[in-house]
Chain A
Amino acid sequence: QQQVKQSPQSLIVQKGGIPIINCAYENTAFDYFPWYQQFPGKGPALLIAIRPDVSEKKEGRFTISFNKSAKQFSLHIMDSQPGDSATYFCAAEDSGYALNFGKGTSLLVTP
């Protein structure tokens, strides 16, 4: 059973656009919500993470928005670049120390 639902499955934006990737969860025990970025042929790497005590976190061009009441969080990429083309995974961690991943979003940023 998928504990974290991620959408869309794929996304194409033009350079400079703002792609938005959404994730939703049901387990209120989740208390850590990271996003991982994966380039072809590489392992995922942590991009940015948030805790439920804040509604937004920014790191460079990447922003996580978190809505605790709706049990949703999203990743926004400002001024997207072709180098941002990758697969993005949201995840949520529960008290059992297991990181539950979404199914991933393949992002293509065109020149």
Chain B
Amino acid sequence: EAQVTQNPRYLITVTGKKLTVTCSQNMNHEYMSWYRQDPGLGLRQIYYSMNVEVTDKGDVPEGYKVSRKEKRNFPLILESPSPNQTSLYFCASSLKGDSPTNEKLFFGSGTQLSVL
């Protein structure tokens, strides 16, 4: 089944404790992206990747890191989480890395993160 898989589904942590949210897709997509969803703010892009070893900042990259060492994986790293990073996070992918325009995004099921 074609899908984007995120783990964990729920995560509660404390301020300053490094964490990683994993994302994997099995559709051979070149483009991958991370979004955070907050009430009243919609979906905001954190980082995206056009292909392996190519990553770029989205609208709200502060406090986050990503890496794209393999085509299928795009982990989101919070080196020192803070309470304002409490949010619902979504990973997404699409087919064309050189032109994600015109290609639909496939979203994972989300990771609900709480930073205490």
Contacts of A52 in B (CB 8 A): none
Q: Which of the candidate stretches A54-62, A68-76, A100-108 sits at the interface with the other chain?
A: A100-108
Contacts of A103 in B (CB 8 A): 40-42
Q: How many A-B residue pairs have CB under 8 A?
A: 54
B107 interface residue (CB < 8 Å to A): yes
| In the complex, residue of chain B having the shortest beta-carbon distance to the beta carbon of A98 | B45
User: Interface extent on A, as a size class?
Assistant: 20 to 34
- Tell me the A residues contacting B by CB distance below 8 Å: 6, 9, 31-32, 34, 36, 41-46, 49, 89, 93, 97-99, 101-104
A44 engages B104 (CB within 8 Å): no
Cα separation A47 to B44 with both chains bound (whole Å): 19
Choose one: B42, B90, B101; the contact of A97 (CB below 8 Å): B101
B107 engages A44 (CB within 8 Å): yes
Choose one: A42, A93, A99, A104; the contact of B109 (CB below 8 Å): A42
B110 engages A43 (CB within 8 Å): yes
Most B CB within 10 A of own CB, among A41, A49, A99, A103: A99
B42 engages A104 (CB within 8 Å): yes
| In the complex, residue of chain B having the shortest beta-carbon distance to the beta carbon of A4 | B42
Q: A98 with B48: in contact, given A103-B41, A103-B42 (CB under 8 Å)?
A: yes
